[in-house]
Every structure is written in structure tokens, then in C-alpha cells.
Structure 1
Amino acid sequence: MAHAREVTIEARLRDCGLRPTRQRIALADLLFAKGDRHLTVEELHEEAVNAGVPVSLATVYNTLHQFTEAGLLRVLAMEGSRTYFDTNISDHHHFFVEGENEVLDIPLSSIEIGNLPEPPEGMEIAHVDVIIRLRPKKSR
């Protein structure tokens, strides 16, 4: 079964114009095998190390950015310099649980966005990201 998934990942990388190197295939397998996820560079690096994939943090960083440019991932800038990579590239929004560094999907149908400003001349709106920050309720 793993072989069939590798072929699919290999084809997916090729279709996006990326050479399917061993490291890209291994990282893509970790990324996409568990469904929709939100991961930081450090989290994916830790998963790779735990899975016995010999890869540096810089390689994981570069690969995630290559996957993003190829349209396989979406970047979410959250907490200051913390960046998450989202395997779900469809239009949707997010909850961010403060203090937990957890990102959860919000279905697009749950939020209605209107009255967007007219973009400057020569520009178009690529997409709108809504991030709703959550924290535990304070007891009274």
C-alpha cells in the first residue's frame, strides 16, 4: 500500500513541476498521509527525525516553501513569527487557540464576508484569511 501512495505523491510532485527527490517524497508522505493538517517547519522536522528521515531543518524549510509555491500548501502567519503550513488549500478560515499554538479549520460556509475594499489598480484579491483567536473562558 505504501508503494501506491509513493507513486501518487511522486506524480503529484511532478504535476506541480517539482522533481520527486527522496527527501521531497518522504516529507510529502509525512505531510499528506494524515489528512488536513497545520504544521510548522519545526513540527515537520521533528516528525521526519522520529520517522528516521535524514533531513535538516533548512531542507524542511526550503521544501515547505517549494510546496507552497507549487500550490500544494497554504501559508498561515499566526503568532508573531510563527508560520503554519496548511495541507488544505481550499478556501477556508481558521481558529487559533492562543497559548496552545493550535490551528483549527472553520468551514467557509460558517463565515460570510462582504464589503471588501476595491483593490489598488492592477491588483486583485487572491484570497481572504479570517483568523479567530480563541482562549479559555476566564472564570468569574
Structure 2
Amino acid sequence: MQSDTEVAELLRHHGINPTLQRVVITRIIYARATHLSAEDVFRLVNADDRRVSKATVYNTLGLLADKGVVREVIADPNRIFYDPNTAPHHHFFDVESGELTDISADQIHVSGLPPLPTGAQLEGVDVIVRLRPSKR
């Protein structure tokens, strides 16, 4: 998905009004096909002499996550990543580099979940495997 028209259609499909800023932010996330933080998105959006406020970037990312256009991944308590891959999957997180890498959902099997609280239903399980380069 590269064109503004395709991005606008994706946003409409998810019930989002495709403003210019929302289209630009979404296009950047999908063009990179990687995990970006809000700060990464803010920097990339404004790299071409645009003036999109930090509040607009953060609000748009929250909206995109709420509507299922991107997935929020909290691998680090100080930073939320935004993932264009919304299919079920898990992540490796390198604590030194801050890099987040996908793990296919079929590579991790979770068993023995505790009983859910009354009135709750399982929405999903997200596994984040934290890594650190080994010392040689």
C-alpha cells in the first residue's frame, strides 16, 4: 500500500476520516513495515518540512490502534511501538538496541492460562521475549 488513495480507503474501511495528516502518518507506518515508536513517526512525518504537531501524531496513532489499523506493542515501559502487522503474532525485543522483531504465532504455544475472571472473555495473548546480546 503506497498511494494516498489506498491509505485513505484503508482508513475509511476502519471508520476513520482520512485527513491529510492521518494519511501521511498511516502511509509512513505501512511503508516502513516495521515497528515504529511515536517519536519515530513524529520525526519521519516532519522530515519533509511538514509541520505536524506531536499531539496530532500521538492522537492519530491512538486512533489507528483503537480502530485496528495498527497494533500497539508495549515492549518497553517507556515506549510504545506501532506495528502494521495486525495478524496474531509475538515479538522478540532486544533490550539494548530497542529493536522489535516478529515471531510467528505458530512458533509459540501458550498453555495453562488461569481461569478468567467472571464476565471476561479472552481477547488474545501477546508474548514478548526480551533479549540481550550474549557476552563473549
TM-score (norm 1): 0.91
For 1:44-55, list aligned pairs within 5 A.
Answer: 44-55=41-52
Mapped pair 1:20 → 2:18: yes
Mapped pair 1:91 → 2:88: yes
Aligned residues: 136
Q: Determine the C-alpha separation between the residues in 2 that align with 1:82 and 1:29.
A: 21
Name the SS for the 1:136 alignment partner.
coil
Gap runs ≥5 in structure 2: none
Which 4+ stretches in 1 moved above 6 angstroms? none
The match for 1:81 among 71, 78, 82 is: 78
Q: Determine the C-alpha separation between the residues in 1 that align with 2:32 and 2:77.
A: 27
TM superposition shift of 1:26: 0.9
TM superposition shift of 1:55: 0.5
RMSD between aligned residues: 1.5
Q: Deviations over 1:6-41 (max 9, x none)?
A: 111111111111111011111111111233x11110
What residue identity is the alignment partner of 2:95?
E
Contact between 1:76 and 1:83, CA under 8 Å: does it hold in 2? yes
Q: Determine the C-alpha separation between the residues in 1 that align with 2:13 and 2:128.
A: 31
TM-score (norm 2): 0.94
Mapped pair 1:29 → 2:15: no
Structure 1 residue aligned with 2:40: 43
The match for 2:63 among 62, 66, 71 is: 66
Contact between 1:95 and 1:131, CA under 8 Å: does it hold in 2? yes
Contact between 1:38 and 1:103, CA under 8 Å: does it hold in 2? yes
* Identity value in percent: 35
Q: Determine the C-alpha separation between the residues in 2 that align with 1:53 and 1:44.
A: 12
Structure 1 residue aligned with 2:9: 11
